[in-house]
Amino acid sequence: MTHMITPQPTPETSATPDWLADAIFYQIFPDRFANGDPALDPSDVEPWGNEPTAHNFFGGDLKGITEHLDHIISVGANAIYLTPIFQADTNHRYDATDYFSIDRRLGDDGSFRTFLDAAHERGIRVVLDAVLNHCGDGHWAFRDVIENQERSRYVNWFSVEDFPVRAHPTPNYRTCSGCYYLPKWNAYNPEVREHHYAVARHWVEKGIDGWRLDVPYFINHNFWRRFRQEVKSLDPDLYIVAEEWREPEQWLQGDLADGTMNYSLRDLVLGFTADGTVDASSYAASMTVLHDRIPTAARPAMLNLLGSHDTERVLTRHREGIAQSKLAYALLFASQGTPMLYYGDEVGMRGENDPGSRGCMPWDETQWNTEILGWVQGLASVRRRVVALRRGTQAVAAVTDDVAAIFRDAGEQGAALTLVNRGATRVVVPREFLDGSAFGGAAIDPAGWVVALDSATAPNAAVGTVVGAGSALVLVAAGRELE
């Protein structure tokens, strides 16, 4: 009998969800956001606000998030990305022990239902973390392998080299990046794939609005192609966003993810506002290259960010520079793609990279930096009101070495121009940036701009055409008349 290999059908592709153009995300690390139910705290819980370490717990939970949805609304966000919430052993929960249950320290199915309903009632969508490359060494299937060794029913759910299974000094099974407590799933095993797709369907059926794919580059594309089909067949409006640090386009051809975490944009913005390694010309040129690498349909679905649980915090990266941090936020909210705030950055939290950036959200408002909060709220508010900032095309140019300009054009629906001056002197904005010709001849009435937001503390006489030293200016214009 001849064994035929069935040709693969053309991969199914689908459009990116429209709601992403209007979304502003807020990322939460659940152990550190708010403690709403002390009864769930682990016995070794530490006082809220202590130094975060790789191992300590602070008792944050789903009830705490539910109780603070008004804060998320007040910042201007309408979507939440939660890092993992399933049963696990660590505070970060990237080591799932059971993907079908909520971690007992966070709550249960009931508190998840309450949280999700409360979020949806307020118009907030919820995206969860799909950590499917690896689990924790406490996962029931891996425990079974430890217990029964080569006789385990689940032995081929992992990639074990020889027996007995050993974690030290070097694990003899595949892991995530050599980490012994993160055994890697054997994604080539159909049973594992079915388990993972069942996880995806389970939480979609509970009502979530999307999945963020953790280290998707460690699993083959066929796995994610089918993942997308499974998820999108339940609801094409679900958002799939891939973690990605350098090469976004591989995920964005319509068959894998809708968008990626835009760390490339982060590098450019922070290079310009924080590090001084990127001047306005190279910022503009690199932003244009990045824009052109991303397919048109995926551009509004990119998840733009300045920081996350895997980086240092925005204010820390700017060496406590509040004015410079505000410039970075101006560029974030001016850019095409959905902006994401990392919890606490909006009130000026500080923190070095993991574990420093995973501190406890301060709920004593006297500890908040109201200048940063007011600025972020202002940017979010303008973005909500101005169609061009959400849905306009994007062109980026340099006015001087220190002044970058992002032009967003929605034609009849208006335009927006964000100017960011990191330099020490005020700059008069040349006419070609106001009439649109610097951005490819968009033909805007140069007198038609209105100041929507200006971070300069001192008023200046020619406001609207001058961007102050170390400040950002957001201009908006009504739409062009049809010719």
Are the C-beta atoms of 315 and 348 separated by less than 8 Å? yes
Q: How far is the CB of 439 from Ca ion (least distance, A)?
A: 50
The residues that touch Ca ion, with contacts defined as CB under 5 A, are 35, 37, 40-41, 59, 61
- Is 352 catalytic? The answer is no
Nearer to Ca ion, 48 or 368 (CB): 48
* 3 state DSSP class of 63: helix
Nearer to Ca ion, 35 or 324 (CB): 35
Q: How far is the CB of 31 from Ca ion (least distance, A)?
A: 9
Crossing angle between the packed helical segments 221-234 and 190-206, to the nearest 10 degrees:
30
Nearer to Ca ion, 64 or 307 (CB): 64
Indicate which residue of 31, 129, 209, 214 is catalytic.
214
Element (DSSP H or E) covering residue 421 = strand 415-421
**Cα 343 from Cα 44, distance rounded (Å):** 24
Which residues are CB-neighbours of 43 under 8 A, at least 6 positions away?
A: none
DSSP for residue 214? S
Are the C-beta atoms of 232 and 14 separated by less than 8 Å? yes
Indicate which residue of 129, 243, 345, 346 is catalytic.
243
Name the residue whose CB lies closest to Ca ion.
59
Nearer to Ca ion, 37 or 95 (CB): 37
Output the 3-class SS for 446-467: CCCCEEEEECCCCCCCCECCEE
Q: How far is the CB of 59 from Ca ion (least distance, A)?
A: 4
Cα three-residue angle 346-351-355, rounded to 5 degrees: 120
Q: Within 10 A of 225 (CB to CB), how many other CB atoms are there?
A: 16
**Distance, first Cα to last Cα, the chain:** 69
User: What token pair was written down for 306?
Assistant: 């300045």
Q: How far is the CB of 243 from Ca ion (least distance, A)?
A: 27
Q: Where are the beta strands (DSSP E) in 269-310?
A: 303-305
- Is 243 catalytic? The answer is yes
Nearer to Ca ion, 105 or 196 (CB): 105
Nearer to Ca ion, 59 or 248 (CB): 59
Residues acting as catalytic residues:
214, 243
